[in-house]
Amino acid sequence: MKFKVAEDVDAPLGFVYVRLADFTRLEEEIRGRGAELKRDGNWTQAAAGCGWKGNVTVRGKPRRIDASIGHMAENDTILVESKVGGMDCTYEMTFYEMAPEITRVSTVLELKPNTLSARLVIQTLKLARGRVLQKMTGSLVRRGNEIEAEYRAQSS
């Protein structure tokens, strides 16, 4: 199952990429939602192969999460691959320069179940597809607005 969302951010491509590649901030957001997450190998600079291990609650049950950065191409793409319970997940962010100070960020979340319980989770998500897309869009819009505000403050 795939979920696709895109948002235009009023800031240069390099600026947007650096802000969205800030995995420390992403980790804080995930922990704020109740997940336990630790860096695998105590890395400090994000690069392909860096990863996380932890636990997250899905449908009321704690599930193991193993995630890693599969690919990072500066100012182009970031691909995060993970396994949550019995599900393989890939999250890809692609960056496009629409104009010198406008960047389109396109995100794709793909979920592939490997177990019966993961298939049940996917069925639930199919029924709630609209809400999931709405939450993904809202999250990307909020982050885009924060990046735009940072850019305007820095440019002033």
**Block residue for tokens 């997250």:** 56
Q: For 120-155, give one letter per residue: b (16+ CB within 10 A) or e.
A: ebeeeeeeeeeebeeebeeebeebbeebbeebeeee
CA 102 – CA 141 distance, rounded (Å): 14
Q: For residue 96, what pLDDT band results from cuts at 50, 70 and 90?
A: very high
Q: For residue 156, what pLDDT band results from cuts at 50, 70 and 90?
A: confident
Q: Report the pLDDT averaged over residues 112-136.
A: 91
Residue 137's identity, in one-letter code, is: T
Starting at the edge strand found earlier in the chain, the sheet holding 87-99 runs 2-9, 102-113, 87-99, 77-84, 61-73, 51-58, 36-40
Residue 71's identity, in one-letter code, is: H
Per-residue pLDDT, 155: 80
pLDDT tens digits along 39-80: 988 888 888 999 999 998 877 888 899 999 999 999 999 999
What does pTM read for this prediction?
0.89
- Average pLDDT value over all residues in the chain: 92
CA dihedral 74, 149, 26, 139 (to 10 degrees): -110
